[in-house]
Structure formats: structure tokens, C-alpha cells
Amino acid sequence: MSGERCLHRSSDTRHPSSIYMNRIHKLFESKKNRVLSIYFTAGFPALEDTLPIMEAIQAGGADIIEIGVPYSDPIADGPTIQDSNMIALENGISLKKLFNQLAGFREKITLPVVLMGYLNPIMQYGMEAFCKKCQEVGVDGLILPDLPMQQYLDDYKLLFEEYGLVNTFLISPQTSEKRILEIDQHSNGFIYMVSSHGVTGAKTGITEEQITYFKRVQAMKLKNSRLIGFGISDSETFSKASEYSNGAIIGSAFIKTVKNSKNLSEDIQAYIQTVIK
């Protein structure tokens, strides 16, 4: 599939202006380093915590909000995020409810917002209805870990572009140079660098081996920004990751903070402050 053709078709559709300049692009234009993205699971710890958590993440000084759409079988996630998914589902969250919660969030939230979710719940919602709804409420991008690049190109690229959604791919230490270049070519926001072999929350700290991998990718001079995720939990790991990329993503460590919190707003802001200080 040619990029040109996509561009052409996109510019013919209803929402041309939103496509290549949404909040994600603006962010990376103005901020090249120490970009902090925070992941949390929608509907966790309590069903109605979604919006308060988003507000606290923004107030705390993070740069991107990544909302996890709960799924019964999250195969790329470790125990912490699995548990939060289970609890959120027990709380009664669904994609429909999430979109209801998100209605009007743009009155308060100016940060770029990305939805992270597995394919099946989205397919059941209807991929086009989902994209349309994302645009309607003000979501900027998607991370779908079980949607491989080829399937994206074959089935969804045009749709995502039509609704102004930036798709983010993952790469890992196993990803070949050739594949990284392909992913870079088909990305138009940022690339999610999985820091090591592993599911989320499996390892913490950054080893020499990982730094070699970060440097290797850094030297490739990709056109897209890179955020490092998996194993980032505190100021030290965040700073270390930022040395070799544009910033980092925190998930499991944030979920732990939220899980044990008695005062969400205060604790979230305090946590983010300690990370970015």
C-alpha cells in the first residue's frame, strides 16, 4: 500500500485538518525530551475514577495520558495490569461506559490522550464506530498491542487516518533493523520502545544490555519520536530512558500507586512530581 495513496484519500475525507497535526504531533514538536506518558486502566480502582485520574495526571505535569481499555485476556501485560483489568471489569467498565465517561473531557484536559487496548473489545464495538467515537470525544491516538503492522495496513490504516487517530507501534530488543525502519515508515507520531524482553511490569531497572539496545535504535535516526516503556517506574529509570529517547511510559508502577491510594489526586500528582523532578 502506498503512503501517497493514503494521503490522497485522507485529504478527500471529512476531517482532513485533524490528521497530520493533532495534539500528539504538537507535543513532540514543542517537547523533544523527557516526555512522560502515564498509563492507567479505565474503571480502576473504582468505575468512576477515569476522569479524576486524568485530571490528576495533567495536574501532576505528565505529557501524555494513556488510557487502558480493560480486557479479559491481556496477553502482553503482567500481573499488575492484569489485576487492574480484572477489577475494572468487575466494576462494570466497558468501552461504551468508557466513552460515556470521556464525553466532554476536553473541557478540562488539554494533554494528548491515547487509548491502549486489545483488538477484540474494539472489534465488537465496531472498528469504524470506535474510531468515530474516539474523534468525537477527543482521543488523539491508539496503541493496539495485538494489531500487527500488516493487519493495520491491510484493514485499518485508512480508517484511523480518516478519523485523525495516530497509531503507535511497538518495537522490542528482538525487532530487526529492517522491521524498525518499516515501522518508522508507517508511524506518524511516536514509536513505543519496549525496553526488554517481557510483559509489562515484569522487570524494573535498566541494564547495560538495554542501554546498548536504546543506543542502537537512537543511532538509526528515525523520523518518529521514541518513548521507552516497560520497566520504567521512578525518577532514575525515567531519566535514564530519556537519555536515549524522547521520554518514557509508566504503567505498572503507576497502577500500584493508584491501587494503594487513599487520596487519588494528591498521590498521583506527588508520584508524577517525584518522577519528573
Most distant CA atoms of the chain, gap in Å: 52
Min CB(32)–another protein separation in Å: 24
Q: Out of 11, 33, 110, 150, which residue is the one contacting another protein (CB under 8 A)?
A: 150
* Helix intervals (H) in the chain: 3-12, 16-19, 23-30, 50-60, 79-90, 95-102, 119-125, 127-137, 149-151, 157-162, 177-186, 208-218, 235-243, 252-259, 264-276
Q: Is 204 in the site for another protein (CB under 8 A)?
A: no
Q: Out of 151, 207, 212, 273, which residue is the one contacting another protein (CB under 8 A)?
A: 151
Q: Is 123 in the site for another protein (CB under 8 A)?
A: yes
Cα–Cα distance between 112 and 37 in angstroms, integer?
9
> Is 77 one of the annotated active-site residues of the chain?
yes
Q: Out of 87, 115, 139, 170, which residue is the one contacting another protein (CB under 8 A)?
A: 170
Cell of residue 244, nine digits: 536515549
Q: Is 60 in the site for another protein (CB under 8 A)?
A: no
Catalytic site residue from 49, 77, 140, 161: 77
Binding flags for another protein, 242-271, as an x/- string (CB under 8 A): ------------------------------
> Is 66 one of the annotated active-site residues of the chain?
yes
Q: Is 79 in the site for another protein (CB under 8 A)?
A: yes
Distances 39 to 2, 179, 211 between C-alpha atoms, Å: 33, 26, 23
Q: Is 7 in the site for another protein (CB under 8 A)?
A: no
Rg, the chain, Cα only: 17
Buried b (16+ CB within 10 A) or exposed e, 34-59: bbbbbbbbbbbbebebbbebbbbbbe
Min CB(67)–another protein separation in Å: 16
Min CB(120)–another protein separation in Å: 5
Q: Is 147 in the site for another protein (CB under 8 A)?
A: yes
List contacts with another protein (CB under 8 A): 71-79, 82, 86, 89, 94-96, 118-125, 145-151, 154, 169-172, 174-176, 179, 183, 194, 197-199, 202
